[in-house]
Amino acid sequence: MSYENKEKIICIGAGASGLFFALNCADERHEVILIDGNAKAGRKMYISGKGRCNITNDCEVKEFINNVVRNPRFLYSAINRFKPADTITFFNEHDCPLKTERGNRVFPVSDRSADIIDTLVRECKKKKVKLLFEEIVKKIEKTDNGFKVICKNNEYDCDKLVIATGGLSYPSTGSTGDGYEFARSFGHKIIELKSALCPLRIKEKITKEMYDLTLKNVSLTATNDHFRKSIFGDLEFLTGSITGPIALSMSSLINREDNIRLTLDLKPALDEEKLDKRLLREIENNPNKDVRYLLTTLLPKEFIPFFLNNTATDPDVVLNSMTKIMRKQLLNDFKRFRLDYISVESIDKGIVTSGGVDVKEIDPKTMESKLCEGLFFIGEVLDVDAFTGGFNLQIALSTAYSCAMAIKE
């Protein structure tokens, strides 16, 4: 033990997990020093939820776990120990009232992510956590009694060390992947890093008028020889990629798959029989109009040029001269519109990083390394990630809480 017989703990990273760890761990027996390379805490949280910070998802543990993509079972104990309901209570009781929106997404009533960060920093200060900013950790060494944390200008000793350095995405927020190197230096395996919750790059040219378009209630399917998954919801377009909730979720599922084929069902509410009847009805009612008109009755106008560019549909065919084969082909294009998939977007554009410190080497109850006593990993640096909806921040908070309690117990 160090100075004043207090156990001295250094946590690297003052993001969601580091801040929450520090305020829960610091007490009369535990001195906590929080080190971050940035000038301020919570840079990534600041931009989260489009600046509103979707801090958790107000759901039961079982549903929560269903929304975790990688290593849900590892998180079972941490999420049970600090549940979404506990997050809601914490912020409500610390002058940061929360509200629940569509899909159980929880935000601060103020719609300001800064209020979430201010609450965490204020509580850290109340608990006398030492916050050291603009201090980039370069190296960690094991000492006889603990660890030496080597920064550019200073060195710090501690009894226990918590690594809360985040993932690799949005590196401008400070998460540049250093935590993986620290983990490797202690012999930890790093599961290959992939971009998750990111746009999907496609070969088709996306026209300008599509940038503001949301294709509502469509179904995106990804398949290869051993994988098939469909996700229903809204799709949006960027230069060279598709995005929006269903593309982001799909990216988390296919970021480790090869030879993926993507198709869109543009009318998932109508099965093939019903869609065929609908086409026949339009044809009967408008015999002298053309296929272009027929498309306007079924698709948003901004999408029609893209549809025509990427199918064999002839827009000038008059409806009363449409053959059965042509109608069946059109039906097929509606139900299985092909998108030529390239890959998931680069890791810096992902909302989270998939992969990271192999959880097989981490105790799920305490977040302590099984390879090095006194070393802990929390938050996104671990090989865990979830869908959008507040799940990723809750993972940061729950793993941080479990770690803090383990150190105190």
Which spans of this chain sit near ligand FAD (rule: CB under 6 A)? 12-18, 35-38, 43-45, 47-49, 53-54, 136-137, 164-166, 169-170, 173-176, 178, 351-352, 379-380, 390-393, 396
CB of 50 to ligand FAD, least distance (A): 7
- Cβ 14 vs Cβ 34: under 8 Å: yes
Residue 108 or 174 with smaller CB distance to ligand FAD: 174
Half-sphere exposure of 229 (CA within 13 A, CB side): 13
CB of 26 to ligand FAD, least distance (A): 17
CB of 78 to ligand FAD, least distance (A): 13
Residue 15 or 374 with smaller CB distance to ligand FAD: 15
- Residue 142 φ then ψ, to 5°: -80, 135
Of the chain, the end-to-end C-alpha distance in Å amounts to: 16
Per DSSP, what are the bridge partners of residue 147?
A: 142, 158
Residue 18 or 108 with smaller CB distance to ligand FAD: 18
Q: Which of 325, 337, 380 is nearest to 163 (CA)?
A: 380
Q: Which of 78, 112, 91 is nearest to 391 (CA)?
A: 78
Residue 33 or 266 with smaller CB distance to ligand FAD: 33
Residue 83 or 267 with smaller CB distance to ligand FAD: 83
CB of 284 to ligand FAD, least distance (A): 49
Distance CA 79, CA 359 (A): 15
Residue 188 or 267 with smaller CB distance to ligand FAD: 188
Residue 36 or 345 with smaller CB distance to ligand FAD: 36
CB of 155 to ligand FAD, least distance (A): 13
Rg from Cα positions in the chain: 25
Residue 132 or 326 with smaller CB distance to ligand FAD: 132
Distances in Å between the Cα of 323 and the Cα atoms of 136, 274, 292, 317, 335 are 68, 18, 16, 10, 19
Distances in Å between the Cα of 132 and the Cα atoms of 5, 14, 36, 240, 383 are 22, 9, 6, 41, 27
Distances in Å between the Cα of 165 and the Cα atoms of 172, 179, 267, 293, 402 are 13, 5, 43, 55, 17
Q: How is residue 165 annotated by DSSP? A: -
CB of 96 to ligand FAD, least distance (A): 15
Sign of the torsion angle spanned by Cα atoms 172, 175, 177, 178? positive
Q: Which of 310, 313, 218, 300 is nearest to 266 (CA)?
A: 218
Residue 186 or 391 with smaller CB distance to ligand FAD: 391
- Cβ 209 vs Cβ 302: under 8 Å: yes
CB of 324 to ligand FAD, least distance (A): 49
Residue 374 or 379 with smaller CB distance to ligand FAD: 379
Tokens linked to 293: 């008109």
CB of 115 to ligand FAD, least distance (A): 14
| Cα 341 to chain centroid, rounded | 21
The two counts, helices (H) then strands (E), for the chain are 13, 22
CB of 56 to ligand FAD, least distance (A): 7
CB of 257 to ligand FAD, least distance (A): 22
